Amino acid sequence: MTLVLWLKSTLIVLLAKELTDPLYILPFKRQNIYREKRRMQKIVVLTGAGISAESGIPTFRGSDGLWEGHRIEEVATPEGFRSNPELVLDFYNQRRQKLLSSDVKPNAAHIALAVWEASLPPSDFLLITQNVDDLHVRAGSKNVVAMHGELLKARCLDTGSVFPWYMDMTLQTPHPEKADQLGRLRPHIVWFGEMPLEMEQIEEAIIDCDCFVSIGTSGKVYPAAGFVQMTPKECWRVEINLDNADNSGAFDDSFVGRATEQVPRFIEAWKQRFCS
């Protein structure tokens, strides 16, 4: 075989291999990931309402700015709770009942993230969620930080103690540890104007991560919308969303589509690229 023929045949083999590489065929904007094939050791995933929407959980607010027909100030602020606690408690009672209904369950995106986490050392993976549902935990995720609180928990207004909570809450609800105290509980939800939970842990993980993946977020709600700006220079920043978010320009690559389709696809490609 002549040198020219050998070079042509080698080029064809390499080209065929590249075209069948799962990462090659994905719609990357900038393929900076090809700079080196080192293992991505520290992974941080941020999820928003878009990942749970396919499980039947309504997204945070509609195009009219209302949340299930209510102004955000009425049902998602400390001032709203002080002004009309009955309305706020009833609002979250309805959300809790919906979450506990038989038709709400983890979808393929939740499950794919849990399987991905299980394949990695525990210290290498952190899942930060803006959602207040428990679908990540139900799917099997372990290292989860619910930065905006959890719908299936209650918080004492006097001590800040947190309790599992699966029933309705009213102004007549007795305290789980002090039955003679009524109406001293609130949903364990971070409302507008309150500090998100576990921010120190979140910041430490983000500034040291090799791969940052944002799934189903709007890029509108801070501080979460600014997390991508905190990542190290060499971090691989990936966005998975139905549409471009307000902060899409800060990401290296974007996967546009349903979370149930794009999340498993991205993870499988990641595994083949870095674990093969």
Smallest Cα–Cα separation from 196: which of 206, 184, 209? 206
DSSP 193: T
Catalytic annotation present for 148: yes
User: What are the DSSP E strand ranges found in the chain?
Assistant: 43-47, 66-67, 70-71, 125-129, 144-146, 149-156, 162-164, 185-189, 211-215, 236-241, 253-256
Give 106's contacts (C-beta < 8 A, 6+ positions apart): 55, 114, 135, 136, 138, 139
Catalytic residue chosen out of the listed positions 110, 136, 148, 175: 148
Q: Which residues are catalytic?
A: 148
